[in-house]
Amino acid sequence: MKILIKQIQTVLPFDKPEHEICEGKCTGCPKKMLEYMGSELDHHQCQLDNDETPTLGELNDLVRIAKKVHRNMARNNLVNKSLTLSKS
């Protein structure tokens, strides 16, 4: 789970300023999608910090959400189109 969280944080543009994320025509709202993904990552990191072991379902859900957010970011030209996430 820790590796997955790091991968997501690396791949998605959390470090881009808001004016770059919200410029031009948007498909969906990338800003809201990043906020949602950030809150999911915070939630899972908090669980790990409390020594809770994630279930396979939680890992799958996080990967599924991350892929959807990444696809949205790619549609808005904020990330590269290719994405590889492992469930380590």
Map the chain to HEC letters: CHHHHHHHHHHCCCCCCHHHHCCCCCCCCHHHHHHHHHHHHHHHHHHHHCCCCCCHHHHHHHHHHHHHHHHHHHHCCCCCCCCCCCCC
Query: Could you give the number of structural domains in the chain?
Result: 1
User: Does residue 88 carry a pLDDT above 80?
Assistant: no
User: Does residue 46 carry a pLDDT above 90?
Assistant: yes
pTM of the model: 0.84
In a domain, 46, yes or no: yes
Q: Per-residue confidence at 26, pLDDT binned at 50, 70, 90?
A: confident
The pLDDT of residue 24 is 77
In a domain, 83, yes or no: no
